[in-house]
Structure 1
């Protein structure tokens, strides 16, 4: 069926609006991350105290999961996204204004809560947008989030160089995000509970349990991949310092290499999945992740480790976007609820990964712990090969 010019314009407007929302979410998170050292210094927090404080974000994230699944079926992803992304920006200012540890803890909890609500809502919008195209586009949205991360880090470096305190820095970001929400929100998909219910197939209890199995497998694939991703975020610098014995200027090289290939991989994953299929894409992703970690463990030298971390970045880049895309196409529940279910399983891996690394490193070595994480990458490939994917 031929698509009219108005339909092309409408879906392009939706894609731009959803992409803008991904960018604003990434910009908010990166802005916070770029000023953590300054906030740590202003509140006189030790490394151990900072680590404890930062747990408030994943705590808020996990607490938001059941709430998000409930509310998205009642008000729709568009309204939830507008509310959540606006709160995300306002709470960013709260983080900059915090003058005590307790104020920071409270703001971080709410920041994680709002951030995950925005994450689920914007991915639900992305699923709706992808349905209008005859090709995968989900990974490109996550690539935009990664681009926002680089942008936010760059703005943070500029603000630090100009000796601008986090509060004023965050106010600027908040204003930009709110303006962006006002401009783009009118073009978001106006989903509603009635329409979602029409799309959900009514199944018997037995059929529903059997049909939930592929969704559970999707969550397990996300879980394994996000263990690897969480490890890279929290332990790449430590690995380069203590195992690679890199000089100070090169300690961040592994993390930078990982981030670059992860961003690049998200812009190429849609094309690859369109040509070779979702299953082959996930199998390759898991294989690249496992191979990269093994290279970094077997050859603990600067350049082999950098290459290994690049492979890990390319491997994990497409897994979560593709899993979200597949979960959003389920017919046994609304896309928002399906995404919430998969996110609950997946993000638990993101939280478990870093502490697991520390525990194994304590009883064995850091290299041994990274080798175990390589098994998680291999699990992505194996489970993907045995899972029915939409």
Structure 2
């Protein structure tokens, strides 16, 4: 059956729906982690071991995701991944033992990465139809879905609804969205029929990967250490310890919805250069002036600084002339994901050896590497 003749706007909305599904499922899982900890009576170390299953699953998927997307096209893979992802969420909710929970969490991480690569491949294709930058808005939808998932989770917790029934609701809504929108996503990707299973990234992709690494070190650090920084260094009241994290998330989400217009006006290279400077300025503000107002302002800057980096890097990688979009995105995201994993422990080690403020100073330097690396990349079709 032929794909219905639909407008580019409809295709864009359909791909955005899949970004929303991915963000909603992940946020729903995150919102019930405390309940899962209580259910299985995990201590902190045991919970940490469980949470490690997600990034391990993601890493296990990395060698396969680009090959699968190129072999079977992103339309098929994103449909399968987006339908399976919320179903595994239900399995996590109904797990009755650690031996059921751990494999489900591992598979949740695996499918999350497969969904990420395939949906971003779709986004690259839609962006090429528009002929201008729209990638940041897709990632903004993911962030918005994260807020929505967190809000729904809070309501479920306040109403004492068990995680498994919360996840059933999320799964049902997600499957309906997959059914409604799968017909309108792109049918074909850029053709690379001889793409090998393991493809070596070229110099351009390596540089993009290093930008992703630098940015995701900062993101991971904000996710895991912003609350601790406000608690131990800023010495904020208990009710305000999450203020820095909230500020970071708010400007990261907001920045993604305005990022495309900024890129269209100034170009990828200038936006990436400015992003690195804003990240560094924000972190250094929080380090030099560890007060509630200054640190919050600093974290607001960090959120805005990181907001457009990953969307722009993915957009540029998807236009690779040497690898298929799926393989190129896999190569870049693999390098970037290492930063997301390594950033939080690096902060912990340095904080233990010296102080948390010195840790954030190092992260500020890594953030500035975005500016340096963006300066040595030749972005063709810079405003596209």
| TM value normalised by structure 1 | 0.93
Assess if the C-alpha contact under 8 Å between 2:67 and 2:326 holds in 1.
no
Equivalent of 1:185 in 182, 185, 197: 182
Equivalent of 1:267 in 257, 265, 268: 257
Residue equivalent to 2:76: 79
**How far is 1:199 from its partner?**
11
Task: Report SS of the residue matched to 2:42.
Answer: coil
Residue equivalent to 1:256: 246
Q: Deviation per CA, 1:196-233, whole angstroms, max 9, x where unpaired?
A: 12799xxxxxxx98x81111100000000000000000
- In structure 1, stretches of 5+ residues that fail to align are 1-5, 201-207
Residue equivalent to 1:203: none
- In structure 2, stretches of 5+ residues that fail to align are none
Taking only aligned residues, the RMSD between alpha carbons, in angstroms, comes to 1.6
**How far is 1:85 from its partner?**
1.1
Assess if the C-alpha contact under 8 Å between 2:248 and 2:302 holds in 1.
yes
Residue equivalent to 2:134: 137
Equivalent of 2:33 in 36, 46, 51: 36
Q: 1:199 to 1:134 in 2, by over 3 A?
A: farther
**How far is 1:190 from its partner?**
0.7
Residue equivalent to 1:3: none
Residue equivalent to 2:168: 171
**How far is 1:191 from its partner?**
1.5
Residue equivalent to 1:278: 268
Residue equivalent to 2:98: 101
| 95-104 or 19-28, which deviates more | 95-104
**How far is 1:304 from its partner?**
0.3
Q: Take 2:345 and 2:70, find their aligned partners in 1: how far apart are those partners?
A: 34
Residue equivalent to 1:196: 191
Task: Report SS of the residue matched to 1:135.
Answer: coil
Count matched residues.
Answer: 374
Q: Take 2:217 and 2:57, find their aligned partners in 1: how far apart are those partners?
A: 19
Residue equivalent to 1:204: none
Q: Deviation per CA, 1:148-192, whole angstroms, max 9, x where unpaired?
A: 001001100110111100000000000000010000000011126
Please state if 1:298 is matched with 2:288.
yes
Task: Report SS of the residue matched to 1:196.
Answer: coil
Please state if 1:122 is matched with 2:119.
yes
Task: Report SS of the residue matched to 1:164.
Answer: coil
